[in-house]
Amino acid sequence: MSRLLTTLLLYRNGFYVGKYISLEAKIAKDKDLYYDALGQAQIGWHEGKEDVLPFIKYLLGTILAAYKDFADRFALVETKRSAFETVRRAAMNKVGRFTKQDIREMCPSLSVSSIEGALRKLVASGELKREGSGKNTCYYRIN
């Protein structure tokens, strides 16, 4: 409930990134960091000596990361490109290993089959390397 209220407060104050990037999903992805920051902020609460700064830093970092993700997504769709070129640019923005789901999150307007086709072409052209199979499939840039 508190995360929902946080998103509402952000909306009411002109921060609309939560409409486009799920803050809840970003928090869930690294929930250990969320609970660590929350726990640190509560130390000394009963004595009135709590320090909310760790949680504020965590939350601001999450919001900043959401804005960066939004900027990356916007850059992909700012100019009309083919599905292949959109996936190619998304893959070239990734560092290290990534999955098809990572590309889907960056390219929500593309169908799964378009993404899969583009990834196959990128592997065939030698721009990407594929590892694993099924749900364990991941990709990484060769160049």
How far, in Å, CA of 54 to CA of 18, rounded?
Answer: 21
Q: Are residues 133 and 90 located together in one domain of the fold?
A: yes
For 48, the domain range is 18-76
How far, in Å, CA of 26 to CA of 24, rounded?
Answer: 5
Judge whether 67 lies within some domain.
yes
53-98 pLDDT tens trace = 999 999 999 999 999 888 887 876 666 788 999 999 899 988 899 9
**What does pTM read for this prediction?**
0.57
Residue 126 gets the label, from left (phi > 0), alpha (psi -120 to 50) or beta, of left
pLDDT-based confidence at 126, cuts 50/70/90? very high
Q: Are residues 23 and 48 located together in one domain of the fold?
A: yes
Give me the number of domains the chain comprises. Answer: 2
